[in-house]
Amino acid sequence: MRILYIGDFHQASGPSYVDVALKSHFQESTEHSYKFWQIEKKVTLSFIREAVNADVFHVSGVSTLGFIAMLLGRMLDKLCTLTVHGSLTEESRYRSVSNWRRFLERRLIQCAHITFPVSSLLADKLGMKKECVIPNGIDTFKFSEKEKHPFDIGIIGGGRRQKRHPEVCNAIEYVIQQSGLDIQVHLFGEKGEDSEALHHFSFVHD
C-alpha cells in the first residue's frame, strides 16, 4: 500500500513532534510505501504524480496543502485520513485564529473518511462521525530519569502561549505560599512565547 503523508517534519510545534516520530517509525517499515510532504510545500507536478500513485492520503493537522491533498484524494477516490491534534475553534476563544484556518479545519474533518483525534472529548466537540481516538504519547523515560520528589508536577507543552502555563504556575505559587509545600514543576516541550515568564518561577525546571 502506498501512503502519501502530509505533515510538519520540522519540529516547530507539538504536532510536528508526532509527525517526526511517525516518519522515523514508518521509514523503518517494509509493510507499506510512504511518501512524506512538508506542509509548506507548493503543489507541483511531482506532488500530483505522488497523489495519483497513492492508495491513501493522510493529512496531519491543518494546512492549505493538506486541504488541497484531501480534495484531490476525494476526487481520485482514495482513502483520506486526518490526524486532529486540537481544535482551532476552541483556541480562537483565547487567541487570534484566522477565519481561513478555522475554515480549513472544518472542511478537512468533513472530507476525511476517518479522523484520528487525540481524545474522545475533542471528537465530540468537533462532531466527528468516523473516528479512532489515539491519545498523544509521552516519553516516560524523561519522567523516570528525574530524581523523585514528593510534590513533583510535570506540565507538557513548553512555553507555548496557548498552554497557559504561567497561569498554572501562578496557582502553584499561591499554594506554596499558603501551605509551605516544597512543590517542584518540571516543564516538557519546546520554547515559546511564555518561556521567559515561566523561568521567573524558582520552582520551574526544564
Residue 145 has pLDDT above 70, yes or no: no
Q: What Rg do the C-alpha atoms of the chain give, in angstroms?
A: 20
* pLDDT value of position 49: 93
* pLDDT value of position 141: 60
Mean pLDDT for 10-30 is 84
Of 147-151, 171-175, 195-199, the least confident: 147-151
* pLDDT value of position 194: 92
Query: How would residue 9 be classed by pLDDT, with cut points 50, 70 and 90?
Result: very high
Distance (Å, rounded) from C-alpha 206 to C-alpha 187? 5
Sign of CA dihedral 172, 175, 177, 181: negative
- The separation between the first and the last C-alpha atoms of the chain, rounded to the nearest angstrom, is 41
DSSP string computed for 128-148: -SSB---PPP--HHHHHTSPP
- Looking from the CA of 119 toward its CB, the CA atoms found within 13 Å total 5
Higher pLDDT, residue 133 or 79: 79
Higher pLDDT, residue 81 or 15: 81
